[in-house]
Structure 1
């Protein structure tokens, strides 16, 4: 789905560089601006120090923790996010209500899930 007016920015946190590049390319082709891929929670929080994304995709687990600081920072800024993880369970309750796609997810499904999040969030 191409967006003609506003191109939402997606913060992409993915520790595997090849997966990150593939997902980022898919999101860009779907009309999203992609920030990342970033490999750690610390990198994502540093990026967010001066900017606020419209949406986020988070790979779990993260190299530098369970992601709870990142989830709280995104929620505090009103940024909807989804989890794109290797396994269905994670220790962090911060992610329990977030939409989840288990890897390997079809890239089309990832775009559809982000489109749904964007619609639910409404215009910024």
Structure 2
């Protein structure tokens, strides 16, 4: 996930939906890989691969982990900042937004 979803040079857009996730990487997993996994699993990383993938731009719809900061005073805990393009979500659907961002990553292990 790291090569696709961890984008520290990404410039946040006014139209992005921003989320912050507190995470504890599994032993041996770098925080960047964990943050990228959160971005992937809460956006396009859960999409099933089909032949029509060539018709959809991953770059347009994917979540991007653009920053990671250690939690002060907490060992091996980090805050991952993820930007989601507005087009990823159904217009006016808070349920769709919460299902994608919150539902897919609770209990997730990276």
Q: TM-score, normalised by structure 2?
A: 0.30
Q: TM-score, normalised by structure 1?
A: 0.28
Indicate the structure whose relative CO is greater, using CA pairs within 8 Å and at least 6 residues apart. 2
Q: Which of these two proteins has the greater Rg computed from alpha carbons?
A: 2
